[in-house]
Amino acid sequence: MKSSTQPYLPYIDGLRAFAVASVVVYHAWPQLLPGGFIGVDVFFVISGFLITRLLAADMRAGDFSYFGFLVRRIRRLAPAAAVCFVAVTVLGAMVFLPDAYEEFGRSLTAASAMFANFYFHGQAGYFSPPAYEMPLLHTWSLAVEDQFYLIWPLLLVSILKFRSRYIPFAIVAGLGVVSFAHAEASLSSDADYAFYMLAPRAWELLIGALLALARPVSLRPVVASGLSVLGMAMIVASTLLLSRQSHFPGLNAAPACIGTALVIVSGLGQRSLGARMLSWRPFVFVGLISYSLYLWHWPLFTFARYYAGRALTDIELSGLVVVSALIAALSWRYVETPFRRPRIRHKNNARAAMASGVAAMALLATSGVIIRELDGVPMRFSGPVGQMFSDMSYGNPMRHQCDGFENISRNDGECNFGRRKADDESYDVALFGDSNADHFTPLIADWARDVGLAGRQATQTQCGPVLGSIRTALPSRITSNCERYHQAAFEFIDNNPGLKLVVLSANWPTYLGAFAPNRVITEGALAMPESNSFDAYMRNLVAFFAERNIMVLIIERIPHYDALPVRCIVHSLENDENTTLCGLERARATSGQNKTLPVFEAIADDYDNVFVIDPTAVLCSTELCLPLKNGVFLYRDGGHLNRAGAVLLRDYFQFPPIGERPE
């Protein structure tokens, strides 16, 4: 595991200090440094430079070992991360309620297995409110670097086989251009992908790599100082002028990355003004602890905000910054340094370091799986609070087998609710819609069983029952699934001529956007609506069912919560206080329904076979909505019922009379 020695560059640690300080200040006081998140991009350029500098020296000296490189990375990164993750897991068990702790378990697995960026790309956006319940959200950037460390040495060793210095430089530059173009192109189609993934971020690391591969240039002191001042100005300007609304990354990340490159170049072989300033000992020390500071500050912020249930005061935030720095200093001194520089070196140490690092992260990843599988460990609570969390853990038990277009024509044994249907018989009832229809399955199944009807779930997450339509603002993957779902729904209707009732439900307000007809209409299964409006498509669909003497029950969306008031209700239950104080304003919980419910009621007035149920009348007073009724917590998350909640609402829903179908 021999490695070429490279001269220490203290100003690089000073630059790291600026980067981590930008991120910490942004997370604490975003109004002061609205573009402070650019510190991560500065880190990327620095990492690309230092890693490529080390690798290129080893490769050119014939001392490169991929295994040795990975061992050094594990010694550098794994111990501090493992200690932090263990502490965060323990703190999470003490602070988080089951829903947040279950989500944390998923993120713990992702962060420990180096795919946190993939995980968080599939979750809430980095700048969205749920971020404050994700103590490992910041590990997305560590995952990007880890993935780069795995790939880059193997690629670089091939590139450096060219004897010319220009060809490797040109290849890396070309890769950087491709990555930059990919980032810009991705911003318009999937901005979260561009933010989280290695491919659109690689150009930032490759800027640093280019610096490491470039031939050293001797600059006059005045020129070097000018470049360093210009580079720092570009970075500072980015922290002040960018914001969470900026088109980012891509072109808007370029000034800070180029500025970082200028600062690095200005200090190589000469003492520029910027290098001298950044080499000041306090800056260097903050740079040395920057990795641990980055690891610790965000979890402490999230736990404090979660526990307080409110925005933190400036005094509280200042205290957290100080505590984060103290923990980071201790982590650097007693965790990072001893593991990175073991006193006794032996060839077996490398194997032990690799095995220990992999084992520690595997154990943490497994712990995350256990937390997730135990639904956030609700058994930490007892009594009414424990029962509430137990109810929250269970949704529609049929969802896994029955939701999705691919399941509509199969899994009848699992998806047939109510009366058991014979093989040559038609279903009586079908439930169509998205996940906001799926959660009603236990309720409708309970009713169908009592009245002796054979029912079938036929839902598709993210796809409403506005059959024949495409919501044009959605990603192509979702629109493709919805088209296939609508086709499968019509095939199901054709194959069940005895249908008496269809139940339509969805997160209706999200279907008020721009529409276009899909293949169901263009292939003639459904007539073309009079216009591309929500009202026209719904009337077109109801007319289709009316022609077939099929009753239609439209269930309006349940009230939605940005965040369930679980902590408030837990506090009220534990202290025998009034839970109605935990309600959400009715206008906010039912936002958008004032546009959809009138459409449904107007259609019901025009058709004798159309019925409408509005759960808001049951779940809200004239002013407030509450996710609790008759002592039962009704919700699984902010927009979906749990199984107990769906069954309880059966007593409050009036279903249409189902008798002989009119001829």
Q: What pLDDT was estimated at residue 362?
A: 95
Buried b (16+ CB within 10 A) or exposed e, 204-223: bbbbbbbbbbeeeeebeeee
**Longest pairwise C-alpha distance within the chain:** 95
**CB half-sphere exposure, 105, CA atoms < 13 A:** 20
- C-alpha 610/C-alpha 615 separation (Å) is 17
Residue corresponding to tokens 């038990």:
397
Of 220, 311, 227, 238, nearest to 265 (Cα)? 227
* DSSP H helices in 311-394: 314-331, 337-340, 347-373, 383-392
Which helix (H) or strand (E) is 470 found in, with range? strand 469-471
* Measured CA distances, 60 to 1, 173, 208, 601 (Å): 15, 20, 18, 76
Domain(s) labelled CATH 3.40.50 in the chain stretch across: 399-560+590-624+640-652
Report the C-alpha gap between 50 and 6 in whole angstroms.
Answer: 10
527 CB neighbour count, 10 Å cutoff? 13
pLDDT score for 54: 94
User: Which tokens belong to 103?
Assistant: 């989500």
Among left, alpha and beta (phi > 0; psi -120 to 50; other), residue 452 is left
Q: What is the CATH code for 399-560+590-624+640-652?
A: 3.40.50
Tokens 């093989």: give the residue: 423
Instruction: Tell me what pLDDT residue 5 has.
Output: 62
pLDDT of the residue at 50: 96
Q: Which residues of 625-648 are buried (b: 16+ CB within 10 A; e: fewer)?
A: bbbbeeebbbbbbbbbbbbbbbbb
Q: Write the CB contacts of 253 (distance below 8 Å, at least 6 apart in sequence).
A: 38, 41, 204, 238
Q: Which amino acid is at 162?
A: F
- What is the model's pLDDT at position 389? 85
Q: Which pLDDT does position 515 carry in this prediction? A: 81
What's the pLDDT at 342? 62
pLDDT for the residue 343: 55
**CB atoms near residue 503 (< 10 Å):** 29
**pLDDT of amino acid 524:** 73
List, in order, residues 6 or more apart from 330 with CB less than 8 Å away.
Answer: none
CA distance 313 to 266: 40
**pLDDT < 70 positions in the chain:** 1-5, 124-131, 342-348, 659-663
Q: In terms of DSSP bridges, do strands 469-471 and 501-505 run parallel, antiparallel, or are they unpaired? A: unpaired
The pLDDT, as a whole number, for residue 1 is 43
Residue 454 bridge partners (DSSP):
418
The reply to whether the predicted model has a pTM over 0.85 is no
Q: What pLDDT, on the 0 to 100 scale, is given for residue 379?
A: 86
Q: Which amino acid is at 361?
A: M
Contact criterion met (CB below 8 Å) for 274 and 266: yes
